[in-house]
Amino acid sequence: MCETGGLFGAEISGHYFYAALRGGDDGLYTACRTIAHLAQSDRTMAQLRRECPPVHISPDLRVSASPELQSAIVARIRQEWSDYPQQTVDGVRINTSDGWALVRKSVTEPALTFRFEGCDAVGLDDLVKRFCSTLPELRDALWIQYEAATRNRGQ
């Protein structure tokens, strides 16, 4: 956000960043901006939320891996998905026509963190399956976590 001159940036973890705060993150500022927007729009938060499209994203999926295996996996993913646009700011993010996949080294434990987003639930499942097929040594652990995290989806 700071590099491109953006006015606003957000992370899936719930951090919101503002140019007005020189790129800073402040929960109270976010709450005040939200309240001001609601007052100006004369709509409720529930009304705004109903207008948002559904999001099909996995939670963070963490798979134990030694530091050596972590580096090898990230390098392999970059190579095996080289036909797709990639971002390497924090690990590697693979962008596909129907979603994206992110893998990065955990900073808190000897593990890789994965996250996936698809255009719909079926596309998300397909992307995770395709991704798992390129990682035979992590496939079962990754798929089991993904299935457990999405088991009650849509209920």
Q: In the chain, where does DSSP find H-type helix? A: 27-41, 45-51, 67-80, 121-133, 139-150
User: Are residues 71 and 146 located together in one domain of the fold?
Assistant: yes
Would you state the pLDDT for residue 89?
A: 84
| Model confidence pLDDT, tens digit, residues 15-51 | 899 999 988 899 999 999 999 999 999 899 999 999 9
pLDDT band at 153 (very low <50, low <70, confident <90, very high): low
Residues 100 and 119 in one domain: yes
The tens digit of pLDDT for each residue in 98-139 reads: 899 999 998 889 999 999 999 999 999 999 999 999 999 999
Comparing C-alpha atoms, which of 141, 130, 133 is closest to residue 63? 141
Q: Which domain holds residue 113?
A: 56-150
The whole-angstrom separation of Cα 119 and Cα 61 is 19
Average pLDDT over residues 58-62: 92
DSSP lists the bridge partners of residue 16 as 10
134 with 61, same domain: the answer is yes
At 129, the amino acid letter reads K
Please state the domain count of the chain. 2
